[in-house]
Amino acid sequence: MLDEIGGQAWSAQPGPRFEPGTEVAGFTIEGTIASGSFGTVYRARRSGRLYAIKLVRIDPRADREAAALRLVRHPNVVTYHGYGFWPEDEPRFLVLALELVEGRTLDVWAAEENPSALELVMRMLLPFALTLADVHASGVVHRDIKEANIVMREADGQPVLVDFGAAGLKEGALRLTMRLPPGTAEYRSPEALRFAREWEGEPYPFAPGDDLWALGVVTYILLTRTLPFGDRNGPDLNRAILERTPPAPSVLNPRVPLALSDLCMGMLEKEPEARYPEAKALAEDLLELCTQADSTWRTPLFPREGHEKHPAPAPAVPGGQRPGRWRIAGLALGALLLLCAPPGDTPRTASSSSLETPPGTSGREVVAPVTPAESAPGAALPPAPVAAATNSEEPKMKKSKTVRTLIVAGCVAGSPGCVSGPQPRPLPPPAECPPGAAAAHKRFGLFPGDVHGVLFLPFDKRPRIVPVREGQKVRAEIIGPWDRLPEETTFDGRLHLGDERVYGRFTAAHLPSGETVPVCLEVMTIGESMRGNGVAPGSTSTQALVISSVSVQVVERFK
């Protein structure tokens, strides 16, 4: 990261280097994850649980990072658990206890997965835009959006925003840099560079638009594997950002759909008023594109031969089940949930701790309680007791307003103030899988707990709101290959209306070759370990409205 004069960013001093087995603030170091100008991140264990701990030198920038993490409570943002100090006798570093996000950085994920345009939008861009909307609603601007700071979480396929070392707070925060805040040169917005050129002594008025511009750069890179304005080693990166219009992604890569290429170029307009005013507006257009996608959106963005890398073994997820085999597509519903159930509304509990509060903070940190969802395979790591008493005045996430009816309809029925669904109905009774399902799962490389995306047919093969009834027979098509199940495989099943949720069970798979095999798949909600999917506004006791893009999980028995 560079500061406003091109040198190393604030507090860019080398931090300590620890060998595995070293004890630091009650954590046992297991290895180094990353090291940069704002600190070093280690994989560590405490009280039998894994964490990522970040050591940052004690100064106002460290306090700012902690404050930003404390404000943003979101399932797609790295979870903050508390503070410690190192060394104990003469503290020079804060020890930030964070969630250990197991997965691949966005650039590695894109290179190894080579997604189609539809998969890229549904699995990454749409959920990330919605995440960014909630981050901004909390009063935080990340200020360093780039591929290295987005991790595609292995447990559920969701994009997770990490590293708030450069984050800025919109309200009540002391400006730590004047001409420009810290950031990464290739992702700086034109307005930031214009401000630096014309600087008259005032701090730069950073805004969510800086993050949205950077996301436009990220999108361009994902679509073309090229930096739109070159890198800092080029002759004049800043002038290119200010004056040059890069070739459209569809020009550099004919596999990019024209509509998606146009959206990306719109994100890179030079004037802020010509770009998206907020992340929710971007999410609105991304979802609209999904509903209009044709077959060209389903082709991998790059030729397979000579471009794709062989995937490296995925890191183990504590308590998880074959995490390397999770391949989740069709995540529109999971992403849309974020608009209706802001993480700030999640109950928090307090516990005693030996960790102290760093200078300049509220003196109270909050930690999420261990829930059944957190103990499920692949779920978020529950916190160790690393916080002090709760603070009833702790800032909460603001509820995001919906962007269109389609997005409203993605909310789950259980979210406060989100929907009113059908009257309570009994859950579908337990049932055995069809004979031969276990053998078919093994044949195609599917294992209990594996999850994938499907689209109900015949709805133009596009995610949209569709009406369903009790006991309705449905056919759904796979979104992309699923291990050894090929594209265009379809599944036959039946839907059941429950207590404000729709449940689905699929028992047969039809292969493109014409062969039919038994399967045992159940509709589930990603990230919540919940059976079924929530219903949309307008549902009744006899007809539910749902998004046609759902996720199905391999099961050994219908419970």
pLDDT of residue 16: 82
Residues of the chain with pLDDT > 90: what percent?
Answer: 41
CB atoms within 10 A of CB 468: 20
- Closest C-alpha among 332, 497, 336, 498 to residue 411: 336
Summary mean pLDDT of the chain? 75
Average pLDDT over residues 293-302: 91
Tell me the pLDDT band of 170, cut-offs 50, 70 and 90: confident
pTM of the entire predicted model? 0.58
pLDDT of residue 348: 32
Average pLDDT over residues 188-208: 79
Average pLDDT over residues 510-539: 82
Quote the DSSP letter at residue 244.
P
Tell me the pLDDT band of 168, cut-offs 50, 70 and 90: confident
Range of weakest confidence among 86-95, 177-186, 191-200: 177-186
Q: State how far the Cα of 152 lies from the Cα of 482, in Å rounded to an integer.
A: 18
Residue 241: both structure tokens together: 């950002």
User: Helix, strand, or coil here: 260?
Assistant: helix
- Domain borders along the chain are 103-161+184-330, 413-558
Quote the DSSP letter at residue 399.
P
Average pLDDT over residues 90-95: 89
- Closest C-alpha among 291, 307, 327 to residue 154: 327
Average pLDDT over residues 138-149: 93
Establish how many alpha carbons lie within 13 A of residue 546's alpha carbon, considering only the half-sphere containing its beta carbon: 29
User: Helix, strand, or coil here: 87?
Assistant: coil
Q: Rg of the chain's alpha carbons, rounded to an integer? A: 24
Percent helix, strand and coil across the chain, each to the nearest 5: 25, 25, 50
CATH class for the region spanning 413-558: mainly beta
Answer whether the bond into residue 424 is a cis peptide, omega within 30°.
no
User: Helix, strand, or coil here: 296?
Assistant: helix
Average pLDDT over residues 60-80: 86
Average pLDDT over residues 302-315: 54
pLDDT of residue 67: 87
pLDDT of residue 358: 38
Terminal alpha carbon distance of the chain: 51
Beta strands in 126-208 (DSSP E): 140-141, 150-153, 159-161, 168-169
CATH H-level, domain 103-161+184-330: superfamily: Transferase(Phosphotransferase) domain 1 (1.10.510.10)
Which value, to the nearest 10 degrees, does the dihedral of the CA atoms of residues 230, 235, 236, 241 take? -20
Interval 236-268: pLDDT, tens? 899 999 999 999 999 999 999 999 999 999 999
